[in-house]
Chain A
Amino acid sequence: MPQEHIEEYLEAIYDIAGRDGTAKTTEIAERLKNAPASVTEVFQRMKQKGFVSYEPHKGASLTTKGYKAAVKIKRKHRLLEVFLDKMLHLPQENIHEQACKMEHVLTDETEIALCKTLKGPTQCPHGSPIPPCNLEVKNCQECLSEQTLSLEKREKDIVAITSLKHGEKAKIVFVRGGGGVMQRLCDLGLTNGTIVSIERTAPMNGPLEICVRGCKLVIGKGIAEKIFVQKT
């Protein structure tokens, strides 16, 4: 099975999977316009490769390996969208499809160069967050000021705080974005290295309640997406 095909599946599962992390076969079939039978077949093969854990009738959920791969491809996709929009000024309605095709052939090197050229964008033109890269840098500024690309890859697994489950604890690695909001988060105790845990989340992309330094804070989803953590 071609790599491209698997990547499309990874993206679809990443998008569809709910809070419990599973995407149903029928949902994937609908999304990718494939027959449910062939979706099941692909799931089986992805399971063999260690990308998903799959249970018939329940659906597939991403393993750590699968999640990393999905985030990587999402990142490439959204960076490309920004590139097509901001630099090439392509019509909005065309960029998604273009990016869908280009993402599979984009090397990691080009991905980093693209991110730098675009000055570390945080959102795609449709407003979805761009996942962070896996380089060993403290924040975007450091990377943007570096001239070379010879940065080492991160060992640890970094995710946005929004992807944590209830009750899960994690350490803040960096906060993206700038100005007032970042300063406020810092002032409220969300400095790098601080342990946070998720208390609960409101439905329909509502805010998160987190616990930090013994206090409970409510943070809107848009802001929370910019807080990146490492699971402990």
Chain B
Amino acid sequence: MKADLVIALAGNANVGKSSIFNQLTGLGQIIGNWPGKTVEKAEGMLLHHGKHIKIIDLPGIYSLSTYSQEEIVSREYIALQHPDVVVNVVDATALERNLFFTLQLLEMGTPLVIALNLVDAAKKKGITINEKKLQKLLNTPVVPTIATKGIGVHEIVDNAIIQATRRSPTNKNALRYGPEIETRIEKLERVLTKVELGYPLRWTAIKSLEGDSEIVNKINEKDPTVIVAANILAGEISEIHKEPCSTVIASERYAVAARIVKEVQTFKESEKPSMSERLDALSMHSVGGYVLMFAIMLSILIFMSLFGGWLSETIQNLFESLNPHLPGVWPDLFWNGGVVGLYATLSVALGFILPFYLILGFLEDSGYLPKIAYLMDRPCHSIGLHGKACIPLMLAFGCNVPACVGCRIMETKRDRFIAIFLSTLVPCSARTVVILGLVGAYVGVQWALLLYIVDFALIFVIGRILNRFHPGVSVGIIMEMPSYRLPSGKVILKQAWNRFKPFLITALPLIILGSIIIEAMRITDVLSLVSNALSPVTVVWLGLPAFTGFLFIFGILRKEAALILLMSAAGTADIRSAMSPMQMIVFALVIMIYVPCVATIAALVREIGWKKAGLITLTEIGLAMFIGGLAFRLLILFM
């Protein structure tokens, strides 16, 4: 569908761009209370008073001098794709820093509407902003909004339409630098007419004075003499101010932002610390913070294990009580293949995966994840990363795929590769299903816990090794710390559903099909053929029953399938009669490590290329075999 109008949402990280996007388009962009959720741009359509409007949600960006990969996405889009209007979403609780970016947008001459979001949170903090005055000072429409409640979002669109039809560049004079800088900008503009980059001229001039590496490289390709000129001019500016030119320009922008804030904002400090501050004092405490963190993790695990085990068993029993036990090949195929596949999947999905997504959603939306990044920063250094890496690593507990993509918040290639590699080792919800549903349910929670500890130890060791072989130091953490927010139940439910839906759509049919295939293979005896071919690995090396061979192959598609199909493959619903506790532990251990699932491998290829994706996959197969074999030989001494 061709859009009548394209609106891009841009602004600092964690200000509510995706919330506004979801409100306008009805789509389910993942939202949460931490900076760096959105790393790719998203598109959606809105029908507003008969107009088809395309809405673009961009990753958070603090400055047009980009720092990490996801910021480049935003900058390139705004600078080169020329959306009809940019809606600059601004956090009313941190106006000064947000205006720093607004001023840069005005500098680019983009048609602009400002959405002054989180006015409710600002009010709670004692901040009131005179939006009329702000509108006048910036000569740009300002709409106060509360995105989570949908307040003000349609006024944004109304204003955007007006701005787009006016088509006059908003306010180029919003930010004038000192004369010593302005004259040099003009000089450079004249030189820059020689090279055509597609960016606005004044903006390109300012960026090359700042020495922005992206812009400099692009100009260098066309005409290196321009950069020589820019460097000379920048050198003159830093000579005058005794500071690097880019710092001079940033300081001037901030000076303007501070002046505007002074005029439009009144701040009444409340006497007692807010709830969020009191929670900070506890959750970021030097001792208490860590105790709380471990307590949260442990209780999630134990709750999941007990609740999931109970619910999935209930569902299985319910279905099994309906089993008509008809003899013959076709009823066998129908029940043992189809129906068992269905209920095994449902029990796993409702027992483990859905509750886990709800818990994860709560952690994300409350704003707890950045606290983990703060607490774990120092420990992360020993594996060559910094605290921010904890955020994708935490997300990996839900699913490794968004975690790999989320690693784009890491600033350097090296950090990103290490973080991605380690993310694939984090037990995702599918692996949690195998660990808790098999070992937790039939062997004991303490053994499931031990598997987690083994996995974390493995992540630590691999991290140390990767750090060794990838020279260079991590740049260190620089991250905004959001306040706590009470998550909205509706948002969490919707988010969990959005994550759960693909499971129902892709995994359920796949697993039922796999289950029918296994049943057919069992009836025709093909299964034993496959099993025998793999038995040197499964039986001899890992000490597992032969029928697990096929599961390892199927498990590459979906790891939870390995558990679900275990029943079909064993030919009995009672796994205890088919496997010893030791075998269950070894089986879960190998499934946990042996290879990222197909979806993760695909994400790896997309993020870091074939070679590195292959390296990760092969390493993990090797590790799983080694550790699995070792565990079998050790456990046999005790069990």
Q: Quick check: is B284 within 8 A (CB to CB) of the other chain?
A: yes
Shortest Cβ distance from A225 into B: residue: B476
Question: Do B95 and A183 touch across chains, with their CB atoms under 8 A apart?
Answer: no
Q: Is A204 an interface residue (CB 8 A)?
A: yes
Q: Give, as a whole number of angstroms, the nearest-CB distance from B126 to chain A.
A: 11
Stretch from B138-146, B477-485, B532-540 at the A interface: B477-485
A219 lies within 8 A of B477 (CB):
yes
Whether A202 and B242, one on each chain, are in contact in the complex, defined by CB atoms closer than 8 angstroms, is no
A119 at the interface (CB under 8 A from B): no
Shortest beta-carbon distance from A102 to chain B in Å: 29
The smallest beta-carbon distance between A216 and chain B, in angstroms, is 4
Given the complex, which residues of B lie within 8 Å of A191, measured CB to CB? 247, 250-251, 254
- The A-B contact count (CB < 8 A) is 133
User: In whole angstroms, how far apart are the Cα atoms of A199 and B247 in the complex?
Assistant: 25
Interface presence of B59 (CB below 8 A) = no
Given the complex of chains A and B, what is the CA–CA distance between A186 and B284 in angstroms? 26
Q: Report whether A214 and B478 are in contact in the complex, using a CB–CB cutoff of 8 Å.
A: no
- In the complex, chain B residues whose CB is within 8 Å of the CB of A188: 62, 97, 478, 480
**Residue B386 CB within 8 A of the other chain:** yes
Q: Are A222 and B476 in contact (CB under 8 A)?
A: yes
Residue among A139, A180, A194, A217 making CB contact with B479, cutoff 8 Å: A217
CA distance A220 to B411 in the complex (A): 14
Q: Is B373 an interface residue (CB 8 A)?
A: yes
A contact residues around B63 at 8 Å (CB): 183-184, 187
CB distance from A109 to the nearest CB of B (A): 22
B250 touches A218 (CB 8 A): no
Q: How far apart sit A202 and B481, CA to CA, in the bound complex (Å)? A: 14
Contacts of A182 in B (CB 8 A): 244, 247
Specify which chain A residues have a CB less than 8 angstroms from the CB of B246 in the assembled complex. 183, 186
A35 within 8 A of B: no
A218 & B477 in contact (Cβ 8 Å cutoff): yes
A141 beta carbon closer than 8 Å to chain B:
yes
B420 at the binding interface (Cβ < 8 Å): no
Are A217 and B243 within 8 A (Cβ)?
A: no
The residue on A at minimum CB distance from B239 is: A145
Interface residues of A in 133-179 (CB under 8 A from B): 137-139, 141-142, 175, 178
Query: A174-210 interface mask toward B, CB cutoff 8 Å, 1 = contact, 0 = none?
Result: 0100101111111111011110000110111111010
In contact, A215 and B94 (Cβ under 8 angstroms): yes
| A206 lies within 8 A of B478 (CB) | no
A124 on interface, CB distance cutoff 8 Å: no
- Is residue B259 within 8 Å, beta carbon to beta carbon, of the partner chain? no
- Knowing A202-B374, A220-B377 are in contact, say whether A184-B247 is a contact too (CB < 8 A): no
Pair B67/A209 contact, Cβ less than 8 Å: no
CA–CA, A213 to B93, complex, Å? 10
Q: Is the pair B97, A214 in contact by a Cβ cutoff of 8 Å?
A: yes
Cβ contacts A87-98/B at 8 Å (1 or 0 each): 000000000000
B477/A180 in contact, CB under 8 A: no
A223 touches B476 (CB 8 A): yes
- Residues on the B chain within 8 Å of A139, using CB: 242-244
Q: Is A206 a contact of B377 with CB atoms below 8 Å? A: yes
Tell me, in angstroms, the Cα distance from A191 to B100 when the chains sit together: 12
Expressed in whole angstroms, the minimum distance between the Cβ of A193 and any Cβ of chain B is: 8
Chain B proximity of A214: nearest CB distance (Å): 5
Nearest residue, chain A, Cβ from B246: A183
Residues on A with beta carbons closer than 8 Å to the beta carbon of B374: 202, 206-207, 209, 218
Contacts of A184 in B (CB 8 A): 62-63, 67, 478
- Docked-complex contact B97 and A206, CB < 8 angstroms: no
Shortest Cβ distance from A137 into B: residue? B242
- B475 interface hit (Cβ, 8 Å): yes
Q: Are B377 and A186 in contact (CB under 8 A)?
A: no
Cα A205 to Cα B387 in complex, Å, equals: 13
Min CB distance, A91 to chain B, in Å?
A: 22
Tell me how far the C-beta of B52 lies from the nearest C-beta in chain A, rounded to whole angstroms.
Answer: 36
Task: Give the distance to chain B from A22, nearest Cβ to Cβ, in Å.
Answer: 18
Contact of A186 among B94, B247, B411 (CB under 8 A): B247
Our pick among B94, B250, B284, B287 for the contact of A214 (Cβ within 8 Å) is B94
Bound Cα distance A202, B247 (Å): 29
The smallest C-beta distance from B68 to any residue of chain A, in angstroms, reads 9
Q: Which of B65, B96, B284, B475 makes the CB contact (< 8 A) with A189?
A: B96
Given contacts A183-B246, A187-B62, A203-B286, contact A218 B251 (CB under 8 A): no
Complex CA gap A31/B115 in Å reads 59
**Residues A187 and B250 in contact in the complex (CB < 8 Å), given A180-B411, A205-B378, A206-B377:** yes
Beyond A192-B243, A192-B251, A223-B476, is A218–B67 a contact (Cβ under 8 Å)? no
A138 to chain B, nearest CB (A): 4
B479 touches A213 (CB 8 A): no
Given contacts A189-B96, A189-B97, A217-B480, contact A183 B65 (CB under 8 A): yes
Distance between A153 CB and nearest chain B CB, rounded to angstroms? 17
Q: Are A215 and B97 in contact (CB under 8 A)?
A: yes
B185: Cβ under 8 A from any A Cβ: no
Asked if B561 is at the interface (CB within 8 A of a chain A CB), the reply is: no
A–B pairs, 11, beta carbons within 8 Å? A181-B475, A183-B65, A187-B65, A187-B67, A188-B97, A202-B377, A202-B378, A207-B377, A214-B95, A218-B481, A219-B476
Point out residues on B near A: beta carbons under 8 Å.
62-63, 65, 67, 93-97, 100, 210, 238, 242-244, 246-247, 250-251, 254, 258, 280, 284, 286-287, 370, 373-375, 377-378, 386-387, 411, 473, 475-481, 483
10 closest pairs, A vs B, by CB?
A220-B476, A187-B63, A206-B378, A186-B250, A216-B481, A191-B251, A220-B477, A203-B286, A138-B242, A223-B476
Other contacts beyond A188-B478, A207-B477, A221-B378: 9, CB < 8 A: A139-B244, A141-B238, A180-B411, A183-B67, A187-B65, A188-B480, A192-B251, A202-B286, A215-B480
